[in-house]
């Protein structure tokens, strides 16, 4: 199975390339960006040694579909998808924060809550909650956008404004867009029998100064989903929720002694485990989009991407 670990393309008018945890972003003429979704898997801010078949295609296709399904309420950077693993859009200068929004006490918030903390990013969490309970109102818990290899860190709205990371005028727009996107994402998920538990959004500014949604949206890497069917029953019994997200990877790593901390070894991933993770990503794609997943031809995946992107750039 050919997977995409990294790319080293030279596209027409290419200025530079930025390599993120799971994506590579090519700057074309300081005007547009070509974002290639690799099959790398990242957890606890660490890139795991083995790639997941079709993961990049799945993330790219969910993200582009969700951008198209929310473009009427929030503008985004996307122009085209010339290949299953590629999104092309406007060059933007990104805000140095990730807008995390949580509808339920899960994941990082639940871990903090278990330690007795009742404030997260300057936002109060009610007493008497159990893991995976719904918050009375979704809470926004931003994090700083870390540079390569560093951990994203929780930050409060007050600190963002005091430190001048984002102006108050812009931050109000980010909050407004975050709530609107989460409300729409919640509706879309409900139509598919899912609950959108929490997610993160990233925003940037175009050359004209317009704030737009960038990066990915409502994917299993950036979001957590529960199955709506049986949610209440499981909560009442204190059972874990059936979920579709990358959390199952994190849980497996935790069970095998890895949380990205110094001195910890990444556990060996067998072929069977890799296939299982790939199948879980495909399952999420089909659940969240309501469409069957069509595997792209990966026989010569890098040549395919290079051809499709080059054709797009030379004809647009």
**Averaged pLDDT, 235-259:** 90
- The reported pLDDT for the residue numbered 148 is 54
Tell whether the model's pLDDT for residue 151 goes beyond 70: no
Tell whether the model's pLDDT for residue 215 goes beyond 90: no
Three-class HEC string of 291-316: CCCCCCCCCCHHHHHHHHHHHHHHHC
Tell whether the model's pLDDT for residue 287 goes beyond 80: yes
User: Residue ranges per domain, the chain?
Assistant: 94-245
Q: How far is CA 180 from CA 29, 75, 122, 185, 187, in A?
A: 33, 12, 21, 9, 11
Separation of CA 264 from chain center: 25
Which pLDDT tens digit goes with each residue over 11-27?
Answer: 999 999 999 889 999 99
Which pLDDT tens digit goes with each residue over 183-194?
Answer: 999 999 999 999
Say what percent of the chain tops pLDDT 90: 86
Structure tokens, 184: 């729409």
Instruction: Give the closest residue to 4 by CA, choosing from 48, 52, 45, 42.
Output: 52
Confidence of residue 239 (pLDDT cuts 50, 70, 90): very high
**Averaged pLDDT, 249-271:** 92
Tell whether the model's pLDDT for residue 221 goes beyond 90: no
> CB–CB of 266/258 below 8 Å?
yes
Q: Indicate the CATH number for domain 94-245.
A: 3.30.470.20
> CB–CB of 48/63 below 8 Å?
no
Q: What is d(CA 290, CA 285) in angstroms, rounded to the nearest whole number?
A: 8
């Amino acid at each position: 199975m050919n997977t995409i670990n990294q790319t080293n393309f030279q596209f027409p008018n290419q200025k530079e390339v930025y390599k993120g945890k799971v994506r590579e972003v090519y700057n074309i003429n300081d005007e547009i960006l070509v974002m290639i979704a690799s099959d790398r898997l990242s957890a606890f801010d660490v890139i795991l040694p083995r790639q997941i078949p079709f993961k990049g295609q799945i993330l790219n296709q969910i993200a582009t579909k969700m951008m198209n399904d929310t473009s009427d309420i929030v503008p985004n950077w996307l122009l085209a998808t010339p290949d299953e693993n590629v999104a092309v859009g406007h060059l933007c200068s990104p805000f140095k924060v990730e807008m995390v929004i949580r509808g339920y006490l899960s994941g990082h918030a639940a871990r903090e809550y278990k330690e007795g903390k009742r404030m997260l990013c300057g936002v109060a969490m009610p007493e008497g909650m159990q893991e995976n309970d719904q918050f009375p109102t979704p809470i926004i818990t931003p994090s700083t956008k870390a540079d390569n290899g560093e951990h994203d860190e929780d930050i409060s709205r007050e600190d963002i404004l005091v430190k001048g990371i984002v102006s108050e005028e812009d931050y109000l727009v980010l909050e407004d867009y975050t709530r609107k996107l989460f409300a729409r994402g919640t509706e879309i998920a409900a139509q598919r029998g899912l609950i959108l538990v929490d997610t993160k959004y990233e925003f940037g500014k175009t050359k004209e100064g317009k704030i737009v949604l960038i990066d990915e949206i409502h994917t299993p890497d950036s979001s957590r989903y529960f199955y709506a069917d049986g949610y209440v029953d499981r909560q009442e019994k204190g059972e874990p929720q059936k979920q579709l997200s990358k959390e199952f990877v994190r849980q497996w790593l935790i069970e095998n002694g890895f949380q990205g901390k110094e001195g910890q070894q990444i556990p060996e991933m067998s072929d069977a485990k890799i296939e299982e993770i790939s199948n879980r990503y495909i399952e999420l794609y089909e659940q969240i989009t309501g469409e069957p997943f069509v595997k792209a031809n990966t026989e010569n995946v890098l040549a395919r991407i290079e051809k499709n992107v080059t054709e797009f750039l030379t004809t647009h």
